[in-house]
Structure 1
Amino acid sequence: MREEAEETAELEIFHLLRAVTVAYGLRQGEFAARNGMHPTDVRALICLLDAERAGTPATAGWLGAQLGLNSAGTTALIDRLEHGGHIARVRDARDRRRVLLTVGDGAKRLGWAHFGPLIDGTVELLRTFGPEEQEAVRRFLTGVNALLADTAAGPDDTAEHPA
């Protein structure tokens, strides 16, 4: 472990990204608390909304895999969200044996009321960037997301690295 980590431009960007993720996590926690939800419920809704936007069929198994939950935990989560009126279980029109999860309009309105100003502000900020800058941001965030996926079951947590 380095005694005094040199603050390079790259480390500064990493620390800014970490600060953004911590602040966003706090906003998610506030939303969850304000609406009587568990933070995992909010992550589940985000996953389901992302799946809807991408055209990915969202099943219980898919959602559990996204969140790293076992079958019992996934069932309890889905039951909570359905009981709260946030999601619905619907039969797949193409395969009636399969049940898909959909986010209800009320949950979308609730989420937009809380996160809408952040989304709008982020879009406005990005509009101040040129196409090349936006592509650089996209490439960076896509790469970091891939690194997170690659290191999800990563090396021993006892390894020493500068924070």
Structure 2
Amino acid sequence: MHDADAVNDLEEAQGRGSTHGPAGDAALGVLLRALNVELDRFNILFGNAHGLYRTDLNALVAILEAARREDPMTPSRLAAALDLSASATTTLLERLESLGHITREHSKTDRRRVDLYIHDTARQIGSEFYQPLLRELSGVWDHFSDEQRETVRQFLTATIMATTRARETIAPR
């Protein structure tokens, strides 16, 4: 399904009245799926341009988010976050390191621990690639009031948490 079809579905649901209830939930679900597909397609373009697989991209995001929280990522935490085995995580980290995207360094506070860091060049490559998307999103978001943005923030946060809870009910294979 194309994103325009999802937008039309929601607009039709809104035109029929309330977006509450099963029909409204289904229309929102269609839009979320369309957003997920479009973001995935954008991420695939980045991955293809830089020799990265989806798991590589997810790992880089996890490492970046840990750094943003000022809590360096470790290989074992990354394995847990991505549901990977120790050997798969090692292979992933070797690939990211060989591409020049990350470094593994012994922790300054606990020499037994290895921390993962993103290279500045990898940050720059990502920043440059994602600038057109960020400009487009910012242009769209500028049309929303502070109250609307807060509603969207609450919606996205609750939706992410619900997705996480649902994922956790499914046993890994």
Q: Tell me whether 1:15 sits opposite 2:3 in the alignment.
A: no
* Alignment partner, residue 14 of structure 2: none
3-state SS of 1:101 partner: strand
- Runs of 4+ in structure 1 off by over 4 angstroms are none
Match 1:96 to one of 111, 118, 121:
111
3-state secondary structure, aligned to 1:50: helix
Which aligned pairs between 1:92-131 and structure 2 lie closer than 5 A?
92-131=107-146
Shift of 1:155: 5.5
Higher relative contact order (CA 8 A, sep 6+): 1
Segments of 5+ residues of structure 2 without an aligned counterpart are 1-20
Q: Does 1:27 align with 2:39?
A: no
Give the superposition deviation at 1:10.
Answer: 2.6
**Residue 126 to residue 54, structure 1, CA distance change in 2 (3 Å):** farther
2:79/2:85 contact within 8 Å kept: yes
Q: Following TM superposition, by how much is the alpha carbon of 1:128 offset from its aligned partner in structure 2, in angstroms?
A: 2.5
Task: Describe how 1:1-163 pairs up with structure 2 within 5 A.
Answer: 8-154=23-169
What is the distance in 1 between the residues matched to 2:118 and 2:143? Answer: 32
User: 2: distance between equivalents of 1:36 and 1:138?
Assistant: 33
The 3-state SS of whatever aligns with 1:151 is helix
Structure 1: gaps of 5 or more residues = 1-5, 157-163
Measure, in 1, the Cα distance between the counterparts of 2:132 and 2:120. 18
- Aligned pair count reads 151
Note the aligned Cα RMSD (angstroms): 1.8
**Percentage identity across paired residues of the two chains:** 32
The answer to whether the 8 Å contact 2:97/2:103 transfers is yes
Per the normalisation by structure 1, the TM-score is 0.85
* Offset at residue 7 of structure 1 (A): 7.0
**Residues 63 and 72 in structure 2, CA contact (< 8 A), matched pair in contact too:** no
- Give how far 1:114 is off: 1.5
Task: Point out the structure with the larger helix share.
Answer: 2
